Every structure is written in structure tokens, then in C-alpha cells.
Chain A
Amino acid sequence: MQILSMLARRLIYAAILVFAVLILNFLLIHLAPGDPAEVIAGEMGGATEEVMASIRKAYGLDRPLHEQLGVYLGKTLQGDFGQSFFYNASVTSLILDRIGPTLLLVTTALLFAIGMGTLLGVIASRNPRGIVSNVVTVLSIVGYSAPIFWTGIMLIILLAWVFPIFPISNMRDITLEGGTFRHILDVAHHLVLPAFTLGIVFLAQYSRLTRASMLEVLGSDYVRTARAKGVPERSVFGKHALRNAILPVVTIAGLQFGSIVSGAVLVETVFNWPGLGTLAFQSILARDYPTVLGILFFSSLIVIIMNIVTDFLYRVVDPRIRTSG
């Protein structure tokens, strides 16, 4: 019951947020310099005043801003995000084509960052002055300061060029023949470098956070109780301490989902990964308004959904929230 009322509250909140995102996205894009009609005209080769006017009329660009917004909102509510100027396809179909690879990349990177990050953090906390602990510290400094595209390019040079272990770019080898399994393996092979690049930044943060959080929890009374019960050290760390130390990591991971999605834009561009990121990059360069608006909307939607998921996850891992409303 309580869960349902919370879900209802969350959904109403999410709906308001989605609406706000739609309006904001639209306004932001139209405040940016550059005339979309010119871009379309440029693509078409010529640019007489007449042609420009007809383009504006065809795409509704001659109407006042608030009317354009009204039309936009009305259409989006029906799932219609318009036609792309640039790709000559419907925005919705473009996005649906590209959203899969992005979700694959982002989830893999996130799982890698959380899994590996907490593992490193736990190992580091076992010996706060040991090698792993120092590696975690260095890693997190590098992770914070190195730009994500730089890391990506360095990894390409090292692991796809000097040592050609992984493919340089793209998501699949189009010349590959064979069954589904071969294709899955092929995608996985292509996924390694981009997912690692995107994950490493967050891995650095999660391992540091886990380490700090573990060190705090390890000094707590209930860990002493566990030891006094004769619980083996492995279980003291992996069960009694970690289950508590993971709480801040879950919170931060949920909050950071937005920045992972924006990091994905850079990583996809570097690795030419056929996701929303490359699509966003190209449509921004082409001033392809409908597509950019659509992508912004869908990525906000992903972040909003992920925040709801995190909220629920948090209730699962922390009984104090679950049982007190």
C-alpha cells in the first residue's frame, strides 16, 4: 500500500518534470544562435529569399515562438517529435534506432563502475595503507581530472592501434557472418573499450566513496558485535560492513546517472558508437532542432526513470527507509 502511494507520488512528480523538460528544451534551443532555415537551405544547395521563406513556412518556423511551442507540445504528447531536417526520417524512429546501443553502453559502464568500484573500495579498506588503497587514490585523481575523450583516445591508441586487441570504433563488424552468438560476441568485443572509458571515471569515484564509507562502517559498534559473534572476516567485510557501506554509493550512483548519459555523448563520438550520443552530436552540428529536442527529451526521460529506480533500490537496501514511510 505504502509502496503504491509512493509510486503514485513519484509518477506525478515525474510527469511534472517531463513537462518542464519539454518546455525548457524547446526554449533553450530557440534561444541559441543560428537559423535552422539556413541550415536546411544549405543542405539543399541554394538560398534565395524565396526558398528560405518557403522552408520556414513548411517547417512552421515562421510562426511566433509560443505557437511553435504549442504545436510542439501537442505533437509530443502523441509521441510525434516531428521530422528530422537532416536525416529525412521521423525523430521518433531515429531515436528508437539509437536508444538501444546507448542503453547498452551506459548500463555496462555503470555496472562495471559499481561492481569494480565497490570491489576495489572494499579491498582498499582492508588495508588502508596498502597497494590497492594507493591505486584507488591515484585512480580517482586521474578519473576526476582526465577528460573522458582523452582517456578514450589514449585507450584507442594503446589497445586498438599499438596492440590491436580491440576494434577502433563502431558497434559491430558488418562484414561478419555467422549465427546470433557470433554477433553477440562481436558486439561485446566492440563494447569493451567504450564501456571501460565511460566506466573508469565513475569507477574512480565509487571506489573512493566505498573505501571511505567502509572505513567508517568498519569502526562501528555493529561490526564489533559481528566479530564478537565469531563471524569470519570475509563475512564481516562482505556482509556486515558492505551492506551498510553501499548505501551512499547507491545514492551517488542514482544522482550521477545524468552525468553518465552526458559522458556517453563524448564516448560515443570518440568511438563512433551508433547511439543517441553520436546522433546528438551530428544533429547539434546540423542544427537539426527536432532531433536535438527529441534526444534531450528522451535522455531526460531515462534519467527520470533511473531516479525512480534508484529510489526503489534504496528502499530495498536500507530497511530504515522501507519501514518508516
Chain B
Amino acid sequence: MSGHQTDRPLLQVSNLCVEFRTRDGIARVLDEVSLELQPGQTLGIVGESGCGKSMTALSIMRLIPSPPGQITAGEVRLAGEDLLRFDEQRMRDIRGKDISMIFQEPMTSLNPVFTVGDQIAESLRLHEGLSDKEAAARAVKMLKAVGIPEPQARAREYPHQLSGGMRQRVMIAIALACGPKVIIADEPTTALDVTVQAQIFDLLRDLKERTSTAIILITHDMGAIAEMTDRVTVMYAGRVVEEGPVEAILDAPKHPYTQGLIACVPQLDPNPTAERPPLEEIPGVVPALTRLGKGCAFAPRCKYAFERCDQEAPRRVSVDADHRAACWLLEEGTSA
């Protein structure tokens, strides 16, 4: 994928900081988060629960609940233009049109009092200026495109009449309706059962091949990361700790946290009779975001931590042409 390096990124997030006012003080939920998405590419974001994956997605859409949240620094450039400088009106034109989002909870993410057809048609009326009738007809086509049988009849049904998998297909149809440049899928399968998960991933993969939409895929599913993504960004406590091509991240992770994360994934054993090593886990828990020290956030849980890790936060350094990690071990030249 290094061929993409020279292109101008479609979406470029740089040094994005988001803070939340909480009872315990200011929580820096995102700390200088940077990521890049090339046209047609799929970027995976992984990390433990609470590390800021959803916040990153919502910040790109400028949908952080505010108050208490606030974007305090950084840039979000879409095709070169900084979305953070747009007024609300221009930002609305971007949402659902250039960037759309698929949420984790298909059960609650659709409005219960409108038909699914209406909910797809609404985007089309807003962004494409279609009439009610044209939008309704296109909505049926969209339902068909995401593999919903009898789309004509389904379009007239309400969310509660559909199964979870169907609803997530509807969410995908809404996201796709206006032919966005970027789709952000925030754990699109977490709430679904396993067979349906596979179907949804198949649909996303199929969509990726047919259209040239770039995708940001947030997931805990390392299998999906391996199958679907080109590049991976690893986050910890609101920071990007490592990012690089998917093969490099999965096969040769540089940051101790990424190494731990990948070691946590159970492998399908090719030789079941052999003695299998116990499943690893990363000791400790994610620190409270209001009480992050000045050092590396992962240091308290890191088995390689040394003095410097507690005193100073490591910068991201290149380990390869397009593979970066933020760890003092790399700068000291003693790769873990």
C-alpha cells in the first residue's frame, strides 16, 4: 500500500485534542490524535474499550456532545479543507453526504416512529434535493443494494419489525445513500450474533470493492482487521500509539501495547494435539483520563517500562517508511 503514500490523503486528522469537563476535572479524551485515510482505503482503528475510538469518529463528524465535550486543538482535513473551521451549515452538508457513519447499536440507532424507507429517503431529500417520490424510489433501491429481500415492502416497515442484522443493513443503506467519500463504521457488528456479523462484514467488503468509498473501521475483531483493512491505527488512553500497514501491525507490532493486544487474540490452533500456550492478557486497567501523568500512559502496565517512560511522553517515530510507533524503546534503539 506504500503506493498511496504520495497521494494527498482524502482525510487527514492531525493532532486532534478533545477534552471533557467532568466532576473529577478535565479529561483529555483525545490527545494529539493523528490519522490518514487515502481514497479507496480501509483504515482500522483498534484499542481497548474507552481508548477514544468513538470519540475520534464523532470528532471527525463534529458530533461530540458539547457541553461537556470540546475539540480544543487540531485539524480534520477532508480533501485538504479543515472541517473544524466550517460553520454549522457547511458541516451539515458534509454529514451524510461526504462522510457518513454507521453506529454500533442497530437496535436503537434508527428512529422508531418513522419507516425505514423514510429514514433513507430523508438523506436523499436533504443532500440530493430529490422529491419525496424520487427519494422513496431510491430508498427502495438502496435497500435492495444492501441485500434486503422484498425491499418494496420492507421500505414501508418500521425498525421494530426488522431483525438486528436487517436494521444494520438499513443503517448501511442510509450511510451509502448519497455516495459518501468516507464511511466511518463504529463497531458495526458488536451488537449482532456471529453469523450475522459475518454477513455484515461480507456486505462491507463487497461495498468496498464496488464503490471506491474509503472506510474507517472501528472494531475489536482482529479477524475483521486482518481481512478488511489496509492500514491500522492503534489507540491507547486517547493517544495513537502505533500505526502502519495491516501486515506490519499484525505480524511485527512495535509497541508493547500492540504486542499485548495481538497476543490476546485466540489463534485457531492448526495442531490441536500440541501443547497450547495460555491466552495472554495485558495486566492492569486503563488509567483514568483525568489523572494521566506526564509520561507514557501505558507505562504503568508495560513490562518493559523504564525511568524515562514515567517522565516524558514518547513521540511517534518511524520504524519503517509508513509504520510509526510512540515508544521510548524504539528511540533508545532497543527494539522490544
Interface positions of A from 211 to 269, Cβ below 8 Å from B? 220-222, 224-233, 240, 243-244
Chain A residues with CB under 8 A of B115: 319
A323 at interface by CB-CB < 8 Å: yes
Contacting A222 at CB < 8 Å: which of B93, B100, B111, B161? B111
Residues of A contacting B93 with CB < 8 Å? 230
Residue of A nearest to B107 (CB): A221
Report Cα–Cα, A240/B161, bound state, in Å: 19
Q: Do A228 and B100 have beta carbons less than 8 Å apart? A: yes
From B97, B127, B161, give the contact of A323 (CB < 8 A): B161
CB-CB under 8 A for A229 and B103, given A221-B109, A244-B111: no
Return the contact of A230 from the options B97, B110, B111 (Cβ within 8 A). B97
- For B105, list chain A residues within 8 Å (CB): 221
- Given B63, B88, B161, which contacts A228 in the complex, CB threshold below 8 Å? B63
Instruction: Report how far A161 CA is from B111 CA in the complex, Å.
Output: 51
Q: Are A230 and B63 in contact (CB under 8 A)?
A: no
- Residue A78 at the chain B interface, CB threshold 8 Å: no
A317 touches B (CB below 8 Å): yes
Q: Is B131 an interface residue when CB atoms closer than 8 A count as contact?
A: no
Q: A227-B63, A230-B123, A317-B113 are in contact. Are A220 and B95 (CB under 8 A)?
A: no
B174 within 8 Å of A (CB atoms)? yes
Check if B113 sits within 8 Å of A229, measured CB to CB: no
Contact A226 B92 (CB under 8 A): no
Q: Does B108 contact A (CB under 8 A)?
A: yes
Mark A276-319 against chain B: 1 for CB-CB distance below 8 A, else 0. 00000000000000000000000000000000000000000111
- Establish whether residues A229 and B174, one from each chain, have CB atoms under 8 Å apart when the complex forms: yes
A220 and B92 within 8 A (CB): no
Of the candidates B88, B103, B126, B127, the one whose C-beta lies within 8 Å of that of A225 is B103
Nearest Cβ on chain B to A308's Cβ, whole angstroms: 22
Contact B100 A320 (CB under 8 A): no
Q: State which of A226, A230, A233, A323 has its C-beta within 8 Å of the C-beta of B94.
A: A230
Contact B113 A231 (CB under 8 A): no
Q: Does A324 contact B (CB under 8 A)?
A: yes
Contact for A229 among B96, B157, B160, CB less than 8 A: B96
Q: A227-B63, A228-B61, A319-B158 are in contact. Are A244 and B113 (CB under 8 A)?
A: yes
Q: For A247, give the chain B residue with the smallest CB separation.
A: B113
Q: How large is the interface on B (under 10, 10 to 19, 20 to 34, 35 or more residues)?
A: 20 to 34
Residues from chain B with a CB closer than 8 A to the CB of A220 are 108
Known: A320-B158, A320-B160, A323-B158. A228 touches B111 (CB 8 A): no
B118 CB to nearest A CB, Å: 10
B226 to chain A, nearest CB (A): 28
* Neighbour of B95 across the interface among A227, A319, A324, CB < 8 A: A227
Query: In chain B between 96 and 154, which residues have their CB closer than 8 angstroms to a CB of chain A?
Result: 96-97, 100-101, 103, 105, 108-115, 122-123, 126-127
> Given the complex, which residues of B lie within 8 Å of A227, measured CB to CB?
63, 95
- Set of chain A residues within 8 Å of B113, measured between Cβ atoms: 243-244, 317-319
| Shortest distance between the CB of B21 and any CB in chain A (Å) | 14
Distance, CA A227 to CA B158, complexed state (A): 20
Residues in B with CB closer than 8 Å to A221 are 103, 105, 108-109
Given A320-B160, A323-B161, A225:B111 Cβ within 8 A: yes
Shortest C-beta distance, B128 to chain A (Å), equals 11
Q: When A224-B103, A320-B158, A323-B158 are in contact, do A229 and B109 touch as well, CB less than 8 Å?
A: no
The answer to whether B108 and A229 have CB atoms under 8 Å apart is no
Contact A228 B112 (CB under 8 A): no
- Say how far B146's CB is from chain A's closest CB, in angstroms: 16
- Complex-state Cα separation, A221 to B108, whole angstroms: 6
Quote the shortest CB–CB distance from A97 to chain B (angstroms): 42
Chain B residues near A244 (CB-CB < 8 A) = 111-113
Compute how far the CA of A120 lies from the CA of B5 in the bound complex, rounded to whole angstroms.
54
Q: Please measure, in the bound complex, the distance between the C-alpha atom of A94 and the C-alpha atom of B88, giving whole angstroms.
A: 61
B108 proximity list for chain A (CB < 8 A): 220-222
Q: Which residue of B lies closest to A219 (CB)?
A: B65
Give A222's nearest chain B residue, CB to CB: B111
A119 to B96, CA, bound (A): 29
Chain B: minimal CB distance from A245 (Å) = 10
Residues of A close to B112: CB separation below 8 A: 222, 244, 318-320
Q: How far is the CB of A128 from chain B (nearest CB, A)?
A: 11
User: Measured between C-beta atoms, what is the minimum distance from A246 to chain B in Å?
Assistant: 9
Residues of chain A within 8 A of B174, CB atoms compared: 225, 229
Report the minimum CB–CB distance from B20 to chain A (whole Å).
Answer: 15
Residue of B nearest to A218 (CB): B65
Instruction: Give the docked Cα–Cα distance between A125 and B219 (Å).
Output: 34
- CB of B115, distance to nearest CB on chain A (Å): 8
Q: Cβ of B96: which chain A residues have Cβ within 8 Å of it?
A: 228-231
**Chain B, Cβ-Cβ closest to A320:** B160
Determine if B95 and A225 form an interchain contact, defined as CB atoms under 8 angstroms apart.
no
Closest to B92 in A: A230
Considering the chains assembled together, what is the distance between the CA atoms of A222 and B112 in angstroms? 8
Contact A231 B122, beta carbon cutoff 8 Å: yes
Smallest distance from the beta carbon of B138 to chain A beta carbons, Å?
15
Contact, CB under 8 Å: A225 / B122: no
Q: How far is the CB of B215 from chain A (nearest CB, A)?
A: 15
Q: Which residues of A contact B122 (CB under 8 A)?
A: 229, 231
CB distance from A53 to the nearest CB of B (A): 66
> Which A residues touch B127, using CB under 8 A?
230
Contact B158 A232 (CB under 8 A): no
Report the minimal beta-carbon distance from A221 to chain B, rounded to whole angstroms.
4
Q: Find out whether the CB atom of B160 lies under 8 angstroms from the CB atom of A230.
A: no
Task: Supply 10 A–B pairs (Cβ within 8 Å), ascending by A.
Answer: A220-B108, A221-B105, A222-B112, A225-B171, A227-B63, A229-B100, A230-B97, A319-B112, A323-B158, A323-B160
Given contacts A221-B105, A228-B101, A230-B97, 6 further A-B contacts (CB under 8 A): A222-B108, A225-B171, A228-B103, A319-B115, A320-B160, A323-B158
- Give the A-binding residues of B (Cβ under 8 A): 61, 63, 88, 92-97, 100-101, 103, 105, 108-115, 122-123, 126-127, 157-158, 160-161, 171, 174
Going nearest first, the 7 A-B pairs with the smallest beta carbon separation are A230-B96, A230-B95, A229-B96, A221-B108, A222-B111, A221-B109, A319-B158
